[in-house]
Chains A and B, each alone.
Chain A
Amino acid sequence: MTTTVEATARSRSAPQRPGFFKRLFAEYGQEIVVLAAIVVLFAVVTMVNPRFISANNLTTIFSGNAYIAVAAIGMAMVIVTGNIDVSVGALIGVLATISGTLAVAGYPIWFAWLAPVLVGMAINAIIGILVAYARIPSIVVTLGALSILRGGLISVTGGTWITDLPSAYLIAQKQVLGLPVPLVFMVVLTALAALWMRYTAFGRSLYAIGGNAEAALATGIPIARRIVAVFVIHGAFAGLATILFATQLQVIQSTVPPNLELTVITAAVIGGVSILGGSGTVIGSTLATILFATIGSALIFVNVSAYWLRAVIGLLILATVLADMLRRRGRS
C-alpha cells in the first residue's frame, strides 16, 4: 500500500533521464535503505511464520502506529530547519486529555477533533516565538515545555482515565473505503507534506534555513517568521496525531507511552532527516515508523522475548545510522 504511494511520489520527483537510479539513490538513499529493511524483514518473518502477513497483524502494524508517523511529519519539518522539539510526547498527552474531555462533556464531535489541532498550534506558536524571537535554543525551550506540559497534564487529570467516550468520536477505529482511518491519515498526510516540502517556495525555504541560515537570510527569506510557522505546523500535526492516539481505544489514559518524543525524533532521523538540518523527507520518517512497528511485531512472531524488543530496535537504529554515515562518507 505504502509502497505504491512511495513509488509514485518518487517517479514524479525524479524524472526519467540518464543516471536515473544513481540520482534516485543519491536523493532518496536513506529512504531506500529503510524501505529495503522493511521488505527484507517482512519476507524473512513471513517465511518463519506466515500469519505475520495476515490482515489482522498488518492492521496492528500500520494503524496502531500511524499516530507516531503523523507526529514525525511535523518533527521532520522542525528538524529540517535545524531545530528540535523534545516536548511533543507531553503535548500529545495534554491534547488527548483536552479532546477527550470535550467529547465526554457533550460538545459536538467535530469540535472535540478540532480543538487539539488548534491548541497544539497555539502552544507551539509560543515555543516558536521563544525560539525565533527570544533566540533561546529550541532544545532548551522544548525541554522547559516538556516539564510544563507533563506537570500540567498530571496535575489536571490527577492520573484518572477518561472513559465513556461516545462511539462516534472513536475515529481511529473506523474505516474509509475498507481501509482503517489511521492508515489513510498516515498515507494522505505523508504524501501531502512531502509534495508541499518539495514543490512549494515555503517548503524549499525550510531546507534553505536548515542548510545555511545566513545564506537564506541573504536571499530574503524571513527566517524568524518561517521558524514560528514551522512550529505552528508541527503543532497542527501533533494535534492530528492526537486525534488518532486518543480515539484508538475506548479510554484515554492520562499518560502517553514513555519516551514518545524520542520515538518520534528517532523516526524522523532514521528516515533520513539530518539532525544538522537542511535535508531529509517526511516519506523517510513515515517509513522509519513502519520499520519500528514491523520490528516490534516481528519479534513476537519469531518468539523472541518482548523484553529484548528495545535492545533489538536500538541495535537496528545504530546499524541504520552507521550505514548512513558510511554511505555519506563514501559519496563525498
Chain B
Amino acid sequence: MNVKSLIRHETLLALLLVVVLIVLSFQSDRFFTVDNLLNQGRLMTEIGLIAIAMTFVIATGGIDLSVGSILGLTAILTGVFWQNVGLPLPVAATAAIAAGTFAGFVNGVIITRFRVPPLIATLATLALYRGLAEGISQARSVRGYPEWFYVLGQQDVLGVPTQLWILFFAAVVASIILAYTTWGRTVYAVGSNEVASRFSGLSVEKTKLALYTASGFAAAVAAVIFVSRVSTTRSDMGTGIELDAITAVVLGGTSIFGGRGTIVGTIIGLCLIQALKNGLSLAGVKGDGTIMLIGAVLILAILASNLFERSGTRT
C-alpha cells in the first residue's frame, strides 16, 4: 500500500514533467536542444547534491536548514586557504570540504547528543555558519583561480558537463543505499517510528549523526563546484538554497514527517523545477513569475498526492 502510493506520486510527477517539457518546447525552439538541456543540468547540480542528502534527512523526519550557510562557509574557506594561507588549491579545496563536513557533524552532535529538534539546531547553525563566512571573508571576494580548476564547473567530460556526472553518480549511489541497504532501510524506520526503531535495536543516533554529516559534506562539495562554475567566492553564496532543495525533495514525494521518499522522486522534482525556471524564462516570463509558479506547483502537487492517497487508503 505504501509502495503503491509512492509509485503513484512519482508517476504523477514524471507525467507532469513530460507535459511541462512538451509545452515548453512548443514555447521556444531554444528549449529542447541538447546544449540547453545540458546547460540546465550544470545549473542544477549544486541544488541537486544538497537535495539528495536532504532526502535522507527528511526521510528520518528531520530537516537541515544550514546547508546554504555551509555552502557559503566552505566556499569562503576554499578561497582563504588557497589565497591567504597559501595552500595548493587541491589541498585547500579538500580542507574546506573537510571543514564543511565537520560543520554538518556539529549539527548532528547538537541534534543527537543534546536532543535539540533539527529545525532549531540548524536554524541556529544557519546563522552561525553564515556569520563565520561573513566574518572570515570581511566582504572580500577571492578570484583568479587557475585555469584547470574550471574543469569542474565550466567544462565537459565526454560531452557532458563535469558536475552533471558527479550528480549522476551521487544519485545512483544514494538510490541504491536508500532502497537496498540495511542502513537505507534504517532511515525509513527511524522516520516512521523512532521509538519503535530504538526498541528494535537500530542505532538511531548513529544513523542521524551520519546523515547530518553527509548533508554537510554534500553542501561542501556543492560549494567547490559552485566556486568553479562562477569563478569567484563570496560570503553570501548559497543563501536560500536550503528552501530550493527542500522544495525539490518535498515535490518529489518525500514526506516532511519522515518514513517515505525516494531519490528518483527528488531528481524528478528537481528537473521539474529547473525545466520550469528555464523554459518560462525562454518563453519570456520574468524570473519572478517563475518563482510564483514553482510555489503553486509545490502546493498543488502535494494537494493532489494527498487526495490520491486518501481515496486509495481508507483508514
Contact = CB atoms under 8 A, between A and B. Distances in A.
Contacts of B130: 310, 314
Interface in A243-300: 258-259, 262, 265-266, 269, 275-276
Interface stretch (B121-129, B166-174, B183-191): B121-129
B302 interface: yes
Contacts of B15: none
Given A134-B306, A137-B256, A322-B110, A144 B296 contact: yes
Contacts of A312: 131
A310 B127 contact: yes
Contacts of B135: 305, 307-308, 310-311
B247 A134 contact: no
A329 interface: yes
B12 interface: no
- Classify chain A: how many residues form its interface, as a range: 35 or more
Interface string B255-283: 01100000000000000000000000000
A155 B131 contact: no
A145 B287 CA distance: 16
B116 interface: yes
B139 A147 contact: no
Contacts of B129: 314
B303 interface: yes
Contact of A325 (B115, B128, B299): B115
Contact of B124 (A141, A147, A317): A317
B250 interface: yes
B95 interface: no
Contacts of A149: 295
Contacts of B134: 307-311
B99 to A, nearest CB: 15
A26 interface: no
A64 B208 CA distance: 40
A152 B286 CA distance: 11
Nearest to A156: B288
A143 interface: yes
B74 to A, nearest CB: 15
Contacts of A310: 127-128, 130-131, 134-135
Nearest to A137: B256
B5 to A, nearest CB: 14
Nearest to B290: A151
Interface in B284-311: 286-296, 298-299, 302-303, 306
B114 A325 contact: yes
B98 interface: no
B211 to A, nearest CB: 19
A154 B289 CA distance: 9
B121 A321 contact: yes
A206 B256 CA distance: 22
- Classify chain B: how many residues form its interface, as a range: 35 or more
Contact of A326 (B114, B288, B295): B114
Interface in A92-146: 130, 134-137, 139-141, 143-146
A313 interface: yes
B132 interface: yes
B114 A146 contact: no
B138 A307 contact: yes
Contacts of A139: 63, 256
B288 A86 contact: no
B151 to A, nearest CB: 32
A315 interface: yes
Contacts of A86: 243
Given A137-B256, A275-B120, A143 B247 contact: yes
Interface in B80-106: none
A305 B286 CA distance: 38
B119 interface: yes
A117 B297 CA distance: 27
Contacts of A192: none
A148 interface: yes
A303 B279 CA distance: 49
Nearest to B135: A308
A318 interface: yes
B197 interface: no
22 contacts: A130-B303, A136-B306, A139-B63, A141-B299, A144-B298, A147-B291, A147-B298, A151-B289, A262-B126, A275-B117, A305-B135, A307-B137, A307-B138, A309-B131, A310-B127, A311-B135, A313-B131, A314-B127, A321-B120, A321-B121, A322-B114, A322-B116
A-B pairs, 10 with minimum CB distance: A147-B295, A314-B128, A311-B131, A310-B131, A151-B291, A314-B127, A151-B292, A155-B288, A148-B295, A144-B299
Interface of A: 84, 86, 130, 134-137, 139-141, 143-155, 258-259, 262, 265-266, 269, 275-276, 305, 307-315, 317-318, 321-322, 325-326, 329
